[in-house]
Each structure stands twice: as structure tokens, then as C-alpha cells.
Amino acid sequence: MTWHADVAVIGAGAAGCVAAAAAARSGARVIVVDGGAGATALSSGTVDVADPGASSLDPLDAGAPLASAVEELARHEPQHPYSRIGAAGRAQLPAALGLLRELAADVDLVGAATPEAAMVVATALGTVKATALAQHTIAGGHLERLTGARVGVAHFGRIGLFDGRASVATLRLAVNGSAPERRFESFPLEIRFLRRGRDARSGVFELARLFDSDEMVDGLARATQATLRVSSRLQHLLLPPLIGLQRPCAALQKLEQALGLPVSEVCALPPSVPGWRLARALVRGLADHGVEVIRGRAVGASIGDGEVRGVDVVEAGGKTMRALRARRIVLASGHLVGGGIRADRRLMEPLLGLPLTLDGVPVADASERWLAPDYLQTQPVLRAGVAVNGELRPLDGRHPQPVLRNVHVAGSLIAGNDPASHKAGIGLCALTGWLAGRAAVAD
């Protein structure tokens, strides 16, 4: 049996989901192949667009407006996707983020109060980061709101691998390095709630699942109240990022009501509960747009006459291969983390065999250039990917005409973006997804 679609989207991360929803809006029949947890699920669950504070040494400084940070990146890095899609493409960023928010309604992505400004949130390590959109449970901890406040950083005695004391020590380092008008006070707060014996060995996902039950949330509220009674007056409480897998917003609201003070989660590090929540919310949101989702892996493609006729999909749990035929393909299979690029003595794109480029030239087998000697330098292999033209069609790095006529590339597979250095993560994926999805149904 064969599936038939107008547009087949390979990959159900941020790029794939936005591309599918964007294409489905025009009435096309869209099928998404969801290969399981990729880089979106393994992210911190915040939507990063660019680093607005790249030039500032003040850690709490939200920096320049996001749009100008994006323009800056496009100007300095001619190979960067922001540069490839041109000013018209970059102008679509608000629309793309709008669709992303619509899709991920379950986790309620929130931006800063002033449009265009970045929010700055504390991470689980105690460092701070700027981001464009954060999930409702994290956005409450936007550091601008905490200015001058006494903030408690709750932890369960290192259960859940979140060390409140170490985080506060680092957070204070950030605060002390910041301008006086942005500072706030932070205190570690150990809540004796989770049991050492059993819960100590649970991973973050097992712990987060515990907080899906109302009794556990009530219990946490009572334990927190007991701790707050003996400690000084706090004006905000930051929690480890594991308050519920299914209904985190409801759990948080319940806690806020019981404690009478604003509560939020800190930004997580992978493997993170918020990242998992975001990935799941996006796939769920696809249903409202009439997009069909196949859980399975795209393992091969039939290519002929400069076109992809279809891809072969092995459904999750199944063994047999089924064909998915589509007029247009959006390839949003991710980078090294998501499996869109495989590194086995050489770098390759395994599904369509698209040529990979690094800094505008075909990626060489000279592997010594893949990694830089310094951990803090930009790692070239992260910038490697599929070169695209302004319409996000794949190029081979030598000729101006696209390699395959009916393919658009979206997300982190596109060459030129090193998310670790350029700080353009899910936001850029959403934008390229939006552009690729619309381009796929344009003609």
C-alpha cells in the first residue's frame, strides 16, 4: 500500500512541523514522517533566533533587538541561512514564529513584553541565556521581571540532577557581573519532598511524570510552604525544569495559587523535559492543521529524472517498507543530532544523498578540519550541511541550478549555521520550515 500526498515532509522537529503546517494552509495534502526524538526534543525547549547580546559582557543584558541581531548575522556570515534567504525571507520571521506558537499551543510559547526584545532566563546550570520565545512555565522567570526581587532557587537535594546550590553560586556570579539596575538576589532552597531512596535514582522524565498527578503537585506545594515558612520572604520561586510532562501549565498554576507567589521553571539542559514537551506539542498541533503524521523512518528514496518520486518508509514497530509518493518533498531531517547527517568516516546525507558543503565548498574528506582545537571556537562540522539557494532548493556547491527539482530543505540540515556559536536554533528552523513549506506549494 502506498501513501499519496502533495507534499511529504521528512522530519517532525520544529522545521518539519512548521513546513507541514505552512503547506497545509494552502489546502495541500501533507504527510509528515516523524522519525522520533531529534534535535528539537533534545533541545532546552526555548526558541532561539540569534544572540542579541553578542557584543555585551553584561550577562543579564537582553542586548539589541532580535531583528537587528538577525541582520547582523546575515551581514557578517554570507554562507549563513539568514543570508541565503535574503531580506524578504528574514522579514517572514514573525510570521514563522507565529505559526510555531500556534502549533505548540500546548506549551504556550511566550515572548518578551516588548516585541522584538529578547527574554533572558536562568538555566539549570545557573548561567543565563537570551531567547526569543520560551514556554509559559519558563517565561515567568524572565530575569527582567525579577529585578530587585528576592528569588528562591528550589531543589530537591540534588535529586533530579539539579543542584540548586551550585546553580545559585553561578547565578550570583552572573548577577554580580551585571549592571546594578538589573540585579536581584537569589537563594538556594532545599525542598524535602522527593524520597531519597526511590526517587534519587529516577531520571528527569520519571520525576516529571510524577508531577502529572494532582496529589504530587499538592504534596510539593505543602512541602514548599513548609520550607518557605522558615525562610525569608521570597518574591519569586524558580523550580527545576521537571514539573509535569503532560500538563505543566496547570501544575504551575496550582503551585502559584497555593504558595501565593510567582513560580517558574529554569531553562533546562538536554536531555530536557521542556524540549520533549515542545516536540510533542508541535506534532499534536499538526492534527489541527489537517496534516497526517506517520511514525516511522524514511530509509530510502526513488529518484529519477532529477526528481524524487517518493520515499520508502518503515513504520515504527513494523518491518516492511511502504512507499510515500509526493509531488514535493521538504527535507527537514535535522543535522548530526537528528540523523539528517551521518558521520561515518565521511559526512553524508543518508536519505537522498544530497551533496554537503562546508563554507561554500563541497565538504572534503579532510576530516582534520571538521573540529576546531578549542572547545569555545565554532566547530566547522556543525556548519556543514546542504547548501541552498534563495528558495531553499538544494545545491551542490558548484552549480547554480538545484540538484533535485522538487525538493526543498528546511531546518538544521541547511549549511552555514552553527547553532552553538550563532545561537540560532529552533527559531531559524521555524523560519526555514515556513519558507520551505510555502515554497513547496507555491508553484
Partner 1 sequence: MAFDAIIVGAGLTGAAIARDCARRGLRVLLCEARDIGSGSTAVETGLLDIGVSSDRERRRIAEAELELLQRIAGPLLTRLPLLWPLSATAAIGTRLRQRAQIARAQLPRAARLGGYRIALTPPELRAIEPALAAAASSGAVLTHAWWTDVPHLAALLVGDAIEAGAELRTHARVSALLRDESAVVGVTLVDDRGESIGSHAAPLVLNCAGAGSDDLAALAYGAVALTPIRCTLVRLARRCTGAAIALGGPSAGLRLVPVSHASVLGGWREPGPGGGDTRPRSPSVVERMLAIAARAVEGLAAEPVLEVASAVQARAADDPPQEGVPRRFRLIDHRAQGVGGLFTIIGGAALEHRWIAEQVTDALCRLLGRGGRCVTGERALLGGDAAIDSGRLAAQFQIAADVADRLVARYGWRAHSALRSNEPGAGLALVCRCQGISGAELMHALRHEAPRTLSDLCRRTGLGSGPCGGQRCLREAARIAREAHCWSASELLSELLAAKQERLESARRALPRLPLAALALDQMAHRLSANLDRFWRADRARRGRA
Fill in the per-residue mask, 346 to 385: x = in contact with partner 1 (CB under 8 A), - = not in contact.
Answer: x------------------x-xx-xx-xxxx--x-xx---
Phi–psi pair at 216, nearest 5 degrees? -65, -40
Q: How far apart are CA 410 and CA 263, in angstroms?
A: 36
Quote the least distance from Cβ 250 to partner 1, whole Å.
25
**410 closest CA partner among 90, 14, 74:** 14
- Name which position in 124, 228, 298, 351 contacts partner 1 (CB under 8 A): 124
b or e along 88-111 (b: 16 or more beta carbons within 10 Å of the residue's beta carbon)? Answer: ebbebbeebbebbbebbebbbbbb
Contacts of 323 (CB under 8 A, 6+ apart): 2, 3, 302, 310, 311, 312, 313
Residues 328-347 that bind partner 1 (CB under 8 A): 335-337, 339, 343-346
Q: How far apart are CA 304 and CA 4, in angstroms?
A: 18
CB 388 within 8 A of CB 395: yes
- Name which position in 158, 284, 289, 325 contacts partner 1 (CB under 8 A): 158
**Quick check: 180 binds partner 1 (CB under 8 A)?**
no
SS3 (DSSP) at 236: strand
Residues 32-61 that bind partner 1 (CB under 8 A): 39, 42-44, 46, 48, 51, 53-54, 57, 59
**Quick check: 105 binds partner 1 (CB under 8 A)?**
no
Quote the least distance from Cβ 130 to partner 1, whole Å.
8
- Name which position in 95, 259, 269, 348 contacts partner 1 (CB under 8 A): 269
Given its phi and psi angles, is residue 243 left (phi above 0), alpha (psi -120 to 50 degrees) or beta?
A: beta
Quote the least distance from Cβ 375 to partner 1, whole Å.
5
DSSP type of residue 419 = H
- Of 354 and 407, CB closest to partner 1: 354
Q: How far apart are CA 50 and CA 67, in angstroms?
A: 9
- Name which position in 37, 161, 261, 303 contacts partner 1 (CB under 8 A): 161
Q: What residue ranges bind partner 1 (CB under 8 A)? A: 39, 42-44, 46, 48, 51, 53-54, 57, 59, 123-130, 157-159, 161, 163, 166, 169-170, 172-174, 177, 196, 200-201, 267-272, 335-337, 339, 343-346, 365, 367-368, 370-371, 373-376, 379, 381-382, 419-421, 423, 425
